[in-house]
Amino acid sequence: MSLISTDPRVVSARGQKAQRVAYISAAAIVLVFTGVAMTLRGKTESGKSFFHPEDQIAMIILGFLAAIAVLWFTRPRVIADASGLRVRNLLGWIEVPWEIVTAVRFDRGSPWVAIDLRDDDVISVMAVQATDKDYAVNAVRGLRALFAESQNRD
């Protein structure tokens, strides 16, 4: 597991495979849209439409916008330390102190880790995904170690 901090009691994880797929997909989308834009020249085969340079530029811009949407899937991240954990999925950060956590689950067949809270809420941690195999297992071990440490302090 790659840690951002040099403190061994800080766990930081991001979806590894999802990031690679997103970056490759975003590049492919931009290339495809640019390629399509380059073929849009002059009159169509029916002769009823005419493509201008502005249409080509708009198509390239659409490709970049689609790529940005795909890159949104690189956002998930979790950072945990002795005080609690911070989870960012697609939209925003959630900060959770260890005192309200009841379990760190990585169920068989589940796509990512789940954090159970005392009020029966569950927080999905999209940053730790089953497809990352050993990386995900190491991240879960780190999260569980921090959780167990917090339980011993009480």
Domain ranges of the chain: 11-15+75-153, 17-73
Instruction: Read off the pLDDT band of 40 (50, 70, 90).
Output: confident
State the fold for domain 11-15+75-153. Answer: PH-domain like (2.30.29)
- Give the global pTM: 0.77
Residue 10 vs residue 47, higher pLDDT: 10
pLDDT of residue 53: 85
Exposure letters 65-97 (e unless 16+ CB within 10 A, then b): ebbeebeebbbbbbbbeeebbebbbeeeeeebe
Over the stretch 122-150, which tens digit does the pLDDT of each residue have?
Answer: 999 999 999 998 999 999 999 999 999 88
Q: What is the residue-averaged pLDDT of the chain?
A: 88
Question: Which residues fall within 8 angstroms of residue 103, CB to CB, at 6 or more apart?
Answer: 115, 116, 147
Once rounded to an integer, what is the mean pLDDT over residues 97-113?
Answer: 92
pLDDT score at 4: 42
Query: 142 Cβ partners below 8 Å, 6+ apart?
Result: 1, 11, 13, 80
Which position has the higher pLDDT, 11 or 45? Answer: 11
Q: Are 62 and 72 in contact (CB under 8 A)?
A: no
pLDDT of residue 102: 94
How far is it, in rounded angstroms, from Cα 56 to Cα 41? 8
pLDDT at 2: 39
Residue with tokens 């949104």: 72
pLDDT one-digit tens code per residue, 46-83: 666 677 888 899 999 999 999 999 999 999 999 999 88
DSSP code per residue over 65-107: HHHHHHHGGG--EEEEETTEEEEE-SS-EEEEEGGGEEEEE--
What is the predicted pLDDT for the residue at 44?
Answer: 62
Distances (CA, A) of 100 to 27, 54, 84, 115, 143: 41, 55, 9, 10, 14
Mean pLDDT for 96-120 is 92
